[in-house]
Structure 1
């Protein structure tokens, strides 16, 4: 790769752009080297048919009586009088003629670019081999595959390595060498905890490097509480976590931060994933309801909410659509939300499947009502204490209403001047001085008694134990109405009633759900749904979550579309490995750290990031995992790494979110500038990025610049962009200027005022490894040039040196 540098030894920010551009290689739909025997129906044929043919010849529309998702239709006579294809005879198949003809009036597809030569060749080879259809890989039950035999078994440290190596060997290739101990220690620290190691930690771990020592490192980091903070953020992306409601007012969701803390604790405690699923979907309906499980139901309250919808009924079902989309994509890897208005155009998902999922959730009430923003969504952890508060607060409100009636009656008898005075801050003083003159003795005594009772209630409230509430399903509709298919997705056009059933493509079935008793708090349906999703027999759930874990260790999943395992998603590059990991998860009580440990201890994870020339030519997309992918740090990892290196990181965990300081220009982007954005102390602002308040209408620029996700919908995988705002944030923002100053103070405190030692220490801290002399020389030259050519004073030049060090490519990327 051509390397543009400001400092040859160090590398400079434009390399970020080059590294990103090299990752933008296009992925062909089929393997151009594949012969007839190598054709994979799901990857090479079904994907082409789904993307290029289903729009006119699929589940929703069958022009010419041709349906490409049904083999019977393809070998039967169409309206033209000819069958679209003749198995075993591609040259005689009408399909091949129509996709290769030069006559534009006949060529298919009629719009867009013609099929590529590779796609045509794959279709012809498939037809010649018999044109057999196979059930889409994701719609088949999990079966535990045997571990493949490989010619170099010594390379494998984990069974998963055999699945990787066998494909590499089949391609006639070989994996690259293992990363250096220093690189691997830094990679492992940041991947597991999200924080960089100190150079001293790297030196200690890499000394006398061995498999045993690496295993100790992995075990220590997986037990570090920072692990939960790093990996919880990945889950928060999936469930579209935010702490406000969106729309113009973008009101706060009280206690949303407790759901975030629940996820962090779940990750650190290695809560079994099936339990994690059940708690979020039905934490209030489990056999053992706990504060954790109630907090987990905050999952249902994280979405956007319009407090003044133009069409309330439409808004209500839009809320259900959000739940169906997030649940089906997040837990099952299916885009069931695409079947809201009609049967799914690509996957075998029916509109009634969509509304059946809605029916399972119909006891979920709307987030709130315009005049009551908390009753539906704030759960009392101690119900008895909560009831005491409710009783006393209700009595207090009644007494206050009675006192106000008496006051208003008296005010009406006062002079106009006095009446106007009671409309503002002077109300209490006017009532104190004048009210008794405008009421009779009996009314005055009643008024005084009411005020005394209000004071007594206030004292009783103060004497109660603290009231602890969490965001979740506080009020439910235990007897929901019948759910209907909605014609074209409109709640104003109900169609046929739907039963509670599971999608046929994942086993189907109609569970028996008893009618809830009259005094039930919920309908009991979500428990059934949660048990089905979290079942060992559900072949989607385990696959989806192990793929998400793999994604965050390699930069892409075994399935590149983590929220879509359907026909329009990307097929797995290693389907047997995916099933092996899924069965491992289930066999080990659904505990995710076992999968983390297996991946981290594998030879595949430990590979270098630099491919050989042969690998770049033969496997440019690294589909075979012949080398580790070069990965840029996430927005949170960048911010947290800066804080760590400058010595400012505040490691306090849990609790209410903090508010980084935002400029007046950023605050002005709101309809009411600054509304809802609090002020946190400098110490609070130095906490990890997972504790930053997530306000939908006011994203933090530093995080947004580095691809913090959209929070209105589930985020399956973050974009990794390279754009000017990143350089501007890292070089020019007030926050980075401040951090550079802290960095300079740190190195001064550690090594004194010697410039060479300061430059060396800057590099050691930022890159977590010993400084190279050529890099030290580049920084010294920078300081000299800034002083001589740009007339910066010594302090400013050293400050710039620290800032530049925090902008090096090696700081941003995992090698």
Structure 2
């Protein structure tokens, strides 16, 4: 960072402008205390840590990962002055759009959060660690993010028009509607219901006869019988299995080059997924078979039972990444490396709900995944994707 001669005057103008136009739309509520860990650090991590904290040498000798390091500053002096946003160099640079470099800038809301934090004394939620090992420091806020918490059953809210409730989920919906002065729509007709549930479960419209049969069936349990019949249809697995196939990157060809080589055995994995849905297979078994189905089959893999054949077919999950190792004009080592990276991407997005690929080159900007974590994950897959025993797509059965 380099200090500008006209810093103070421009900073004051920007602060006034923000106070007039942004305070009402701040991403921090007025009653909530602004802390470094919860509000400021995530912004700095997204925009600044690559150069000022997670690189081997911090640019300008400025490390922004801890509050006290902002106060200490770098080559241009202190980055912030607690209680004095107008005297804080960091706020000046980001307000003027001079930092971070490039086209991406902090939003006015993000800048206002930092201004509020400095004005309130630049407080922290807790004492900071003495040191940070490596480049990626995970705060308690990182670890306590809502999506990383165990699933808990919440209390069902109390609503006024409880007679409209048919399931506990309805109570959550109706609660939000009532808060906004809205009400539930009128109940759907039986003809509409049968169309909705048929599209939803099997992906096809009901026949006129199926609609008529349900409309005329006034016996208790008619709805339950309809749902059970649809879920027993082979079309159910085809309808819902495709969502997992999408997550797994399923394709009938390699999808790598213009010749786009066919995968003659890919259908075996597709059929495994469809059967698993139709047979209501437990999810843990479903996952284990795809990640380690070959470990469930004793060597040398001859005279296999139907269950063992199914387990081997499930491992097609690990072969869904585009594979260019057999394509002409491609460096085999580079192509194999991309296969491994894409396999990790497929596994992480489908099973963890995280895009770990950013950590392939540096600590993740958003999720609590370090570059070291990424290569620990990769080490798990390396034995299965061993270059010494690698087979190109044409060499696989």
Q: TM-score, normalised by structure 1?
A: 0.37
Tell me which of 313, 334, 351 is aligned to 1:331: 351
Partner of 1:265: 275
Partner of 2:73: 78
Report the CA distance between 1:327 and its aligned residue: 1.0
From 168, 183, 195, the equivalent of 1:186 is 195
Distance 1:43 1:174 in 2: 36
- Picking from 251, 255, 280, the partner of 2:290 is 280
1:667-682 equivalence runs, <5 A? none
Q: Which moved more, 1:350-359 or 1:193-202?
A: 350-359
Q: Alignment partner of 2:367: what SS?
A: coil
Alignment partner of 1:363 is 2:373: no
Deviation at 1:204, TM superposition (A): 3.3
Distance 1:62 1:256, change over 3 A: same
The question of whether the paired residues in 2 share the 8 Å contact of 1:341 and 1:351 is answered with yes
Residues 121-143 of structure 1: CA distance to partner in whole angstroms, max 9, x if unpaired?
45555664955472251573315
The 1-side partners of 2:45 and 2:215 are apart by: 50
Pairwise CA distance, 1:297: 0.9
Could you tell me how far 1:160 is from its partner in structure 2? 3.5
Q: 1:191 to 1:84 in 2, by over 3 A?
A: farther
Partners of 2:270 and 2:152 lie apart in 1 by 34
Question: What is the CA–CA distance in structure 2 between the aligned matches of 1:56 and 1:169, rounded to whole Å?
Answer: 48
Query: What are the Cα deviations for residues 747-803 of structure 1, in whole angstroms up to 9, with x where unaligned?
Result: xxxxxxxxxxxxxxxxxxxxxxxxxxxxxxxxxxxxxxxxxxxxxxxxxxxxxxxxx
CA shift in 2, pair 1:71/1:313, >3 Å: same
Distance 1:243 1:120 in 2: 48
3-state secondary structure, aligned to 2:383: coil
Structure 1 residue 350: Cα displacement: 2.6
The secondary structure found in structure 2 opposite 1:283 is helix
* Residues 147 and 159 in structure 1, CA contact (< 8 A), matched pair in contact too: no
Write the distance in 2 (CA, Å) between the matches of 1:172 and 1:115.
36
What's the Cα RMSD here? 4.0
User: C-alpha separation between the residues in 2 aligned to 1:191 and 1:44?
Assistant: 40
Matches within 5 A, 1:207-606: 207=216, 212-246=221-255, 247-286=257-296, 290-306=308-324, 307=326, 308=328, 310-365=330-385, 369=391, 373-374=394-395, 377-378=396-397
Given the superposition, is the C-alpha separation of residues 206 and 302 from structure 1 closer, same or farther in structure 2, using an over 3 Å criterion?
same
**In the aligned structure 2, how far is the partner of 1:323 from the partner of 1:303?**
6
Looking at structure 1, the residues matched to 78 and 180 of structure 2 have their Cα atoms a distance apart, in angstroms, of 40
Which residue pairs with 2:17 in the alignment?
A: none
Give the Cα–Cα distance (whole angstroms) in 1 for the partners of residues 208 and 235 of structure 2: 18
Cα deviation for residue 221 of structure 1 reads 1.8
1:340 to 1:109, Cα distance in 2 relative to 1, 3 A? closer
Q: Tell me, in whole angstroms, the C-alpha distance in 2 between the residues paired with 1:44 and 1:72.
A: 12
Equivalents in 2 of 1:258, 1:65: separation in Å? 56
- After superposition, give the CA deviation of every residue in 1:435-464 in whole Å (9 maximum; x if it has no partner): xxxxxxxxxxxxxxxxxxxxxxxxxxxxxx
Check if 1:35 corresponds to 2:44.
no
| Maintained 8 Å contact 1:59/1:346 | no
- Post-superposition offset of 1:227: 0.7
Deviation at 1:155, TM superposition (A): 4.1
- The CA deviation string for residues 621-679 of structure 1, in whole angstroms up to 9 with x for no partner, is xxxxxxxxxxxxxxxxxxxxxxxxxxxxxxxxxxxxxxxxxxxxxxxxxxxxxxxxxxx
Shift of residue 294, structure 1, vs aligned partner: 0.8
1:779 matched to which residue of 2? Answer: none
The question of 1:146 aligning with 2:164 is answered no
Q: Deviations over 1:682-720 (max 9, x none)?
A: xxxxxxxxxxxxxxxxxxxxxxxxxxxxxxxxxxxxxxx
1:295 Cα deviation (Å)?
A: 0.7
Q: Structure 1 residue 280: deviation in Å? A: 0.5
Query: Which one scores higher on RCO, CA 8 angstroms, separation ≥ 6?
Result: 1
Partner SS for 2:192: helix
Deviation at 1:344, TM superposition (A): 2.9
> Per-residue displacement from partner, 1:278-329 (whole Å, max 9, x unpaired)?
1011001137861111110112222222213542222222221121111111
The alignment of Structure 1 onto Structure 2 pairs a total of residues equal to: 340
Query: CA 1:45 to 1:181, structure 2 compared with 1: closer, same or farther past 3 Å?
Result: farther
User: Is the CA contact 1:340–1:351 (under 8 Å) kept in the aligned structure 2?
Assistant: yes
In structure 2, stretches of 5+ residues that fail to align are: 1-23, 126-138, 299-306
Alpha-carbon spacing, 1:373–1:333, altered in 2? closer, same or farther (3 Å) = same
Q: CA deviation at 1:169?
A: 4.8
